[in-house]
Amino acid sequence: MILLDHPTPQPPYETPLNISLDILHELFGRELIEDLLIKISQIPEEEGDLLTFPSWFPGPLDNPILSDIYIDEPPSKGFDTDFDNHGGRGDILVLGSYTPMHSPGIITFYKDNIARYSACLIRMLHQSGYSLRPEMAFFVIHFVVDDIMNHETFHYYSDYKRRITGASFDHNKEEGLAVAYSYEVKKRRGPFNHFNSRLSYHHESRFDFLRSPFGRKVYGQIRRFLMKEHYKFYSLPGYRDWPSYIGYRNWDDHSYVYLKNGLLDTLKSNGVCVDEIYKEVGLFCSSGAAIVVSN
């Protein structure tokens, strides 16, 4: 078993939006971000850079390797000795973890690693010619946090489903399916639905960085960039198999075979839609899980 130091989860739990905002503040400074977001609705989107990289901003990463941790994974898998107490393992960036249900299941975000990795993507975008603005940085951070949430939600759902069906845990298979699930969620949503482009900030001011055709064009390009670059960094065994599972029915079919038992096969043969796993995960979501943050 992997033993990591985790905060004791106490409701109310963290949300992806709050995690993303906290990381944005840490990367650029809370006061600067708060000041800019109050003024930003009056600043033309075409104006260019509104931020500079502060001295503490993380440096670039050379071909980052993304991972997560399934806390109860058997030691024989070889993942039990290489991690420190904050999810670090050499050049591998552990962005999140899932701890199986011990009332409740726990989804953990590793904030420092998420900040380092998000900073790497922000630098890549800026070097590609995109303006360094708070809304661009937030868009990138939220993309990463949302991916982790989707990924760990699939582990949470699979934990629940295996407890019903008795299906076996397979590290490589489950990680590939989890990466593919998040990819499918982002792909099926379309460019911006489910992404809250109008962000309430301390309940005082708002900005909408998709408020114009220019903004929608730019952030559509950024989203395509992130979809291409982010998922190629899942290069560890199991994770890197995700392209084999994508596709509207393909993902459902692989997930059903992974999690099924004989009773479900019987129900399926009688016409019951027990193999629509994507819809089921969407309904199940992270409801009931504890969502916490670790440095």
Q: Each residue of 226-235: pLDDT tens digit?
A: 999 999 999 9
Give me the mean pLDDT over the 192-202 stretch: 46
In a 13 Å sphere around the CA of 56, the CA atoms on its Cβ side amount to: 9
pLDDT at 2 over 80: no
Amino acid at 78: G
Residue 4 belongs to a domain? no
Tally of CB atoms within 10 A around 287: 9
CA distance 223 to 162: 34
Residue 223 belongs to a domain? yes
Residue 5 belongs to a domain? no
pLDDT at 211: 60
CA distance 234 to 179: 8
CA distance 165 to 208: 45
- Pairing of β 92-99 and β 65-70: parallel
Residue 262, token pair as written in the block: 């004989």
CA distance 134 to 115: 14
pLDDT at 191: 56
Give the tens place of pLDDT for each residue, 43-96.
777 788 999 999 999 999 988 999 999 986 533 333 333 444 444 455 689 999
CB-based contacts of 134, cutoff 8 Å, min separation 6 = 24, 28, 33, 36, 37, 40, 50, 51
Give me the mean pLDDT over the 103-124 stretch: 94
Query: Which among 32, 104, 92 has a CA at the least distance from the CA of 63?
Result: 92
Residue 7 belongs to a domain? no
Domain span including residue 211: 16-294
pLDDT at 7 over 80: no
CA distance 113 to 115: 5
77 DSSP 8-state letter: G
CA distance 148 to 107: 9
| pLDDT band at 287; cut points 50, 70, 90 | confident
Residue 9 belongs to a domain? no
pLDDT at 78: 32
pTM, 2 dp: 0.87
Give me the mean pLDDT over the 207-219 stretch: 71
Considering the chain, what is the average pLDDT of its residues? Answer: 84
Residue 241 belongs to a domain? yes
Residue 253 belongs to a domain? yes
Residue 1 belongs to a domain? no
Give the tens place of pLDDT for each residue, 149-160.
999 999 999 999
Query: Which among 66, 54, 213, 198 has a CA at the least distance from the CA of 122?
Result: 54
The domain tally of the chain equals 1
